[in-house]
Amino acid sequence: MARQEGEQGMSSEAKQAWPDLASRALGGSVIYANDELFAERENLIKAGEPVFQPHTFGHKGQIMDGWETRRRREPGSDSAIVRLGCGGVVRRVVVDTSYFTGNYPPEVSVEACGAEGFPGPAELAGASWATLVPRSPVAGDARNEFEAEAGRRATHVRLTMFPDGGVARLRVYGEPVPDPRLLPATIDLAALENGAVVTGCSNMFYSSPANLLLPGQARVMGDGWETSRRRDQANDWVEVRLACAGAVELVELDTSHFVGNAPGWAALGGDGGQLLPRTALQPDTRHRFAVPGGPVTGAVRLDIYPDGGMARLRVFGRPAAAARRALAERFLRLLPGPQLAGLLRAAGLPADEADRRAEAGGTGSGGLAVLDGLPPAALELFGLRLSI
């Protein structure tokens, strides 16, 4: 295996408490840029670190691993819009200008909005955008980090450069807030896009344990979680707070691409007891195990013996009634006012009443109360089978 950075040398983004909501690995997409003459907008959300090969020229100049616009000859600014891989509350933004030295923007801003469905750039032009990072100076060839005050759920972010230049990566770290209308009866409780998060880990020498929770199958070994080799009698482990408490029906321990470094055994515990006893694993294999009795748990701990790598962890289960209700309440409480008003109008409320409730919801006193009086069919969209 090629040499990788050790735990002490891992990038700070690999150890983030919150995932990068904009990452291509999570399903993010750069849906618009007004200009990308020198370097493509899609580079902004690559999962890997930026790279640079000097004196590597294409027909438009030095090839840069980032988004770069032409030099402006008139007043204005350049912008790009990213659809987040999953909606969530943004906590931190990184505007990475690595390798952009004489061509970085002197100032940037970042805004967010929440939108229903999958709007295109023209629709988003008229959206209500909230400021995450006000117009601020940035340095070249640097990770420019900005704390964002926790606000409403966002589905899109807009990066603006003043007046032009290049940015290697845009990282949008935040707390996933799943849409309860899109959650079936049985979900992957350990999926990052559903709100699961790693809360502890014994070792992340080669790669982040958060990779275990990403959507889709791992493409290569580096897409998973891998520890250093143990030289003692202990074992490695990772702890995950699930998206919500649920009755576990099936677990999957995936060692795909780990051939000479898969764990020999693994066990999975929940906060209410054991889900899977210590069990032998095979290399490069998707192991699936039924869990008898459907035990309810809100967190799991995966123990691997003695060390090694795992591609994915799946914990399929049915959210408890109270947990599903809590997911719906949190979603509604965190929706931006315009999106919430549109949702209520679509559910059958008169426009003035929808606007009134959305404004109340925006003060933090919303939640399930905004659904009072809606027909049962509207409530069922949120997984709410009982009257509220």
Give yes or no for a contact between 193 and 215, defined as CB atoms under 8 angstroms apart: yes
Pull the structure tokens for residue 3: 């040499």
pLDDT higher than threshold 50 for residue 309: yes
- DSSP codes joined into one string, 209-254: GGGGG-SS--SSGGGSEEPPPP-SS--EEEEEEEEEEEEEEEEEEE
pLDDT of residue 345: 87
DSSP state letter for 12: G
Residue 57 β-bridge partners = 62
CA separation for the pair 24, 213 (Å, rounded): 14
What does the pLDDT look like over 139-148, one tens digit per residue? 999 999 999 9
Q: Is residue 319 predicted with pLDDT exceeding 70?
A: yes
What tokens appear for 253 in the block? 């321990």
| Residue 148 pLDDT | 94
pLDDT tens per residue, range 258-278 = 999 999 999 999 998 999 999
Lowest pLDDT segment from 140-149, 191-200, 335-344, 358-367:
358-367
Task: Check residue 3 and give its pLDDT.
Answer: 26
DSSP state of 383: T
Q: What average pLDDT does this structure show over 95-109?
A: 97
**Torsions phi, psi for 210 (to 5 deg):** -60, -20
Lowest mean per-residue pLDDT among 75-89, 281-295, 366-380: 366-380
User: What whole-number distance in Å separates Cα of residue 168 and Cα of residue 366?
Assistant: 39
Higher pLDDT, 58 or 385: 58
Q: What is the pLDDT of residue 346?
A: 84
CB-based contacts of 255: which residues, under 8 Å, 6+ apart?
262, 263, 281, 282, 283, 284, 285, 286, 287, 309, 310, 311
> Are 134 and 204 a contacting pair, CB within 8 Å?
no
Bigger pLDDT: 357 or 66? 66
Question: Taking residues 94-113, what's their average pLDDT?
Answer: 97
Task: Report the chain's mean pLDDT, rounded to a whole number.
Answer: 90
Percent of the residues in the chain that have a pLDDT greater than 70, as a whole number: 91
Q: What is the pLDDT of residues 148-198, one digit of tens each?
A: 988 999 999 999 999 999 999 999 999 999 999 899 999 999 999 999 999
Percent of the chain with pLDDT over 90: 75
Say if residue 381's pLDDT is above 70.
Answer: no
- Of 335, 23, 332, the C-alpha closest to 173 is 23
pLDDT at 361: 66
What's at 109, amino acid-wise?
S
Q: What is the pLDDT of residue 349?
A: 83
**Cα-based torsion angle of the residue sequence 295, 299, 302, 303 in order, rounded to the nearest 10 degrees:** -90
Please tell me which residue, 117 or 372, carries the higher pLDDT value.
117
pLDDT for the residue numbered 357 = 84
pLDDT of residue 366: 55
Of the candidates 238, 214, 250, 242, the residue with the CA atom closest to the CA atom of residue 299:
242
- CA dihedral angle for residue 315, residue 218, residue 207, residue 95, rounded to 10 degrees: -100
Better-scored residue on pLDDT, 14 or 241 = 241
pLDDT at 383: 64
388 band by pLDDT with thresholds 50, 70 and 90: very low
Tokens at residue 33, please?
């840029």
Question: Is the predicted pLDDT of residue 98 greater than 50, yes or no?
Answer: yes
Tokens 């640079």 belong to which residue?
52
The C-alpha angle with vertex 72 and arms to 68 and 74, in degrees rounded to 5, equals 155
Could you give the angle at the alpha carbon of 319 between the alpha carbons of 313 and 322, nearest 5°?
A: 140
Using the predicted structure, report yes or no on whether residue 109 has a pLDDT greater than 80. Answer: yes
pLDDT value at position 2? 30
Residue 152 DSSP SS3: coil
